[in-house]
Amino acid sequence: MQSNYSHFQEDKLDRQYDVKLLKRLIPFGRKYQWYFFATVFLVILITLLDISIPYITKIAIDRYIVPNVGLSESSKKEGTDLRSGLYPVDLKDASAAAVVEKYSSLFTIEKNIAFIPYEKMTDIQPEDIYRLRKDDFKGVMSLALGLILIVIAVFILNFIQVMIMEYTGQMIMHDLRMTLFKHIQSLSMAYFTRNPVGRLVTRTTNDIQNMHEMFTSVITFVFKDLFLLVGIAIVLFSINSRLAMVTLSILPVLVYTAIKFAGVARGAFRELRIKIAEINSRVSETIEGIRVVQLFRQEVNNYLGLKKLNHEYYLAGMLQIKVFAVFMPLIELMGSIVVAMIIYYGGSSVIQGRISLGSLVVFIFYMRMFFRPVRDIAEKVNVMQDALASAERIFLILETEEQQSAPAVSTPEPDEIQTLAFENVFFSYEDGQTILKDLSFTIKKGEVLAVVGPTGAGKTSLINLIIRFYDPVSGRILLNEKDIQSWPADVIRNRVALVTQDPFLFSGSIRENIVGNNTHIVDEELTRILEITNCLPFVRKLTEGVDTILTERGSSISSGERQLISIARAIASDPELIILDEATSYVDSDTELRIQDAMEKLLKKQTTLVIAHRLSTARKADRIMVLKKGRIIEIGTHDELMAKKGFYFQLNQLQG
């Protein structure tokens, strides 16, 4: 019983460019474009404020801490290169003049300005230095207060920006999830035959959630980081173009490294998305079939199968981590190299007097800031690659065009079903394996047609064609002498009710499972339906009655009770055609007789197709059709077929 998961493998994807995928996401964000514009505006404002902080530091150093002025006239005449080695003091300031007079040996006076070398400042008392440089202290204090205000403003703007983007991202994910879910519901049965439940659940949950950070942070933060890089480059060139060219010469290496990183990371993330879907499929199938697994002692085989998938997922995850572990240290290394270049080249320029000390400090500050968005972009690329790997899988489903084919022309809805006919119908699930062969028969209004035959004769396939889960390969199915494909599938299904041999109930109340969207059914009508289908006795025993909540698939009640509820659900829909796929197989003989009696009274005006595995169910039908290997071999009443002593007669003999 070891499962073969080859049919669970994901479709191979051609390499898609990130830009192409992002373009496909644009329609989901168009409704929220003003939120994006507001976020981009806030990001630009925040970036400008961030860039201003180091520049304020430069102003503080060059204007107030170590002013870039102060060559005395004699020094200028002598051509002495003292740069900012002299601090000028305005003698018009009485308090400053008093300090100059007190330390007159340290100062050189020219006109109304006194100069003192910076290295001599240590010979002056601290309180005198304050009197001498009180304007500088005030300037530094003003700049410090300005920095605090900028930081507060950045905090507030960041909060607003994050809230806007979080709302936008959540709404985009909501819309994308609903679009995907709606599309999945419209797909044909053939699609679900090929795709396991776990894979589709992964697409609708994990993969869409995986795109959350891309919507909420990546897009805006990439904008922010790009603005920051451009802004820093502009400021650096405005300060000293030569030093800026030296420091930014490493950009080509950075761009090349980032491109290589993105390509390798994309492959790793694709593999991760595939493996997590396969793991979910394996776990989902195991849980759904846990009774069979335990009954046939397949725990070890299932464990080993999942262990293999889990190890493959681990290897894919480690590949992603290795790629990231190589890239990030490379960025750090490049950042350190650039700082070393600034210290050497910029330091030499300060010594030679070509730039100020503040310019050197701010260059180092900006380059440390420059590599921060580079690291951020690398991390966001990491997140984006993961998100785009999920987007590829989501769009793979959205691109699937396996819905039931729409009618070529708009046709008015059919009148009440008078006839349903098969005309030379052939059908197969896969090429080369024909299930139904040249079927031709007619069911008239009010008639009960029973279909019997051995396992594999094609009885279930017959049902699938009538309710348009599949369409014929050739031939036609006629409703009131018009091709059934002239109408959308939901038009046909609104008129048909199916009661399967293995009923499926949803999590929810008994009322919800029976009534569904038929809100016009009042309590009195519901009670009548429960009584007809023999549901009333066991429903009354439940604490909450019809409002009792059922667990998944209705497992909290017996198989027979689930079958009775599914029959009640069919009757509540007031169908014109009822298909019973051995609907009484899970109830006892007494209940079966009562249900059959009630349905005979109820369905006199309705057309009924009965798939009968037990021939006792077929005997009261108006006609019996016998299928064998996909062909009709006999058709007639019970008495007629018994008189022929053919295949139907043999089946009766075998069942006693």
Where a domain ends, among 347, 363, 398?
A: 398
Is residue 180 situated within a structural domain? yes
Is residue 106 situated within a structural domain? no
In this structure, what CATH number is given to the domain that contains residue 483?
Answer: 3.40.50.300
Q: Using one digit for the tens of pLDDT, what is the confidence trace for 491-513?
A: 888 888 888 877 778 777 888 88
Contact 87, 130 (CB under 8 A): no
Where a domain ends, among 331, 363, 398?
A: 398
Q: Is 577 helix (H, G, I), strand (E, B) or coil?
A: strand
At position 339, the amino acid (one-letter code) is V
Is residue 83 situated within a structural domain? no
Going by the DSSP 8-state scheme, the letter that residue 109 receives in this structure is E
> In this predicted structure, what is the pLDDT of residue 92?
80
Helix axes 589-602, 559-572, angle to 10 degrees: 0
Is residue 207 situated within a structural domain? yes
The burial of 529, by beta-carbon neighbours within 10 Å (0-12 exposed, 13-18 middle, 19 or more buried), is given as buried
- Tell me which residue has tokens 């969207």: 517
Is residue 556 situated within a structural domain? yes
Stronger pLDDT, 407 or 489, i.e. the higher one: 489
Contact 532, 600 (CB under 8 A): no
Residues 340, 423, single domain; the answer is: no
Contact 231, 51 (CB under 8 A): yes
Residues 492, 390, single domain; the answer is: no
Structure tokens given for 267? 């492959």
Is residue 485 situated within a structural domain? yes
Going by the DSSP 8-state scheme, the letter that residue 84 receives in this structure is T
Residues 379, 435, single domain; the answer is: no
Q: Using one digit for the tens of pLDDT, what is the confidence trace for 514-570?
A: 887 777 788 888 888 888 777 888 888 888 888 888 876 677 787 778 888 888 888
Residues 282, 149, single domain; the answer is: yes
Mean pLDDT, to the nearest integer, of 178-201?
79
Give the length of the chain.
Answer: 656
HEC secondary structure over 333-383: HHHHHHHHHHHHHHHHHHHHCCCCHHHHHHHHHHHHHHHHHHHHHHHHHHH
Residues 554, 482, single domain; the answer is: yes
What is the sign of the dihedral through the CA atoms of 455, 458, 461 and 466? negative
Stronger pLDDT, 544 or 588, i.e. the higher one: 544
Structure tokens given for 615? 């021939």
Q: How many structural domains is the chain composed of?
A: 2
pLDDT higher than threshold 50 for residue 78: no
In this structure, what CATH number is given to the domain that contains residue 219?
Answer: 1.20.1560.10
pLDDT higher than threshold 70 for residue 69: no
Q: Using one digit for the tens of pLDDT, what is the confidence trace for 373-424?
A: 777 766 676 677 777 777 877 888 887 776 655 554 556 777 788 889 999 9
Distances (CA, A) of 558 to 498, 529, 538, 561, 564: 20, 19, 10, 5, 10
> In this predicted structure, what is the pLDDT of residue 437?
92
Residues 393, 424, single domain; the answer is: no
Is residue 411 situated within a structural domain? no
Q: Widest CA span of the chain, in angstroms?
A: 139
Residues 614, 564, single domain; the answer is: yes
Q: Model-level pTM?
A: 0.62
Residues 260, 309, single domain; the answer is: yes
pLDDT higher than threshold 50 for residue 1: no
- The rounded distance, in Å, linking the Cα atoms of 221 and 53 is 19
Where a domain ends, among 347, 364, 398?
A: 398
Using pLDDT thresholds of 50, 70 and 90, give the confidence band for residue 451. very high
Q: Is 503 helix (H, G, I), strand (E, B) or coil?
A: coil
Residues 370, 487, single domain; the answer is: no
Is residue 192 situated within a structural domain? yes
| Dihedral angle, C-alpha 202, 206, 212, 215, nearest 10 ° | -20
> In this predicted structure, what is the pLDDT of residue 57?
81
| Chain mean position to CA 312 | 22
The segment with the largest mean pLDDT, out of 62-71, 277-286, 299-308, is 299-308
Contact 280, 201 (CB under 8 A): yes
Residues 373, 506, single domain; the answer is: no
Residues 428, 320, single domain; the answer is: no
What residues make up the domain containing 385?
6-63+138-398
Residues 361, 480, single domain; the answer is: no
Stronger pLDDT, 351 or 471, i.e. the higher one: 471
DSSP calls for 459-501? HHHHHHHHTTSS--SEEEEEETTEEGGGS-HHHHHTTEEEE-S
